[in-house]
Amino acid sequence: MTDPDRWPLAPGNASPEVEERLTAEAARWPEPSTALREQVTGILTRPERRTTAA
């Protein structure tokens, strides 16, 4: 569990009512398709987005 003062809405830190509402909201959103996951991965792994450790 995380620090409830710093992360009040983290799983396990919120009140039961808030946990229930957050769970219901999350259930409304569909899982992304494979095509969308691949598109996002392609964007995030573009060479111009990569940084080198100095």
pLDDT digits (tens, 9 = 90+) for 7-31: 888 888 989 999 999 999 999 999 9
pTM, 2 dp:
0.49
Confidence at residue 38, expressed as pLDDT on a 0 to 100 scale = 96
Confidence at residue 9, expressed as pLDDT on a 0 to 100 scale = 84
Q: Which helix (H) or strand (E) holds 36?
A: helix 34-44
Q: Cα–Cα distance between 36 and 2 in angstroms, integer?
A: 31
Confidence at residue 16, expressed as pLDDT on a 0 to 100 scale = 93
50 or 7, which is more confident? Answer: 7
Q: Cβ–Cβ contacts within 10 Å for residue 22, how many?
A: 13
Which domain range does residue 17 map to? 1-54
Q: How many domains does the chain have?
A: 1
Q: Cα–Cα distance between 38 and 44 in angstroms, integer?
A: 10
Q: Are 4 and 15 in contact (CB under 8 A)?
A: no
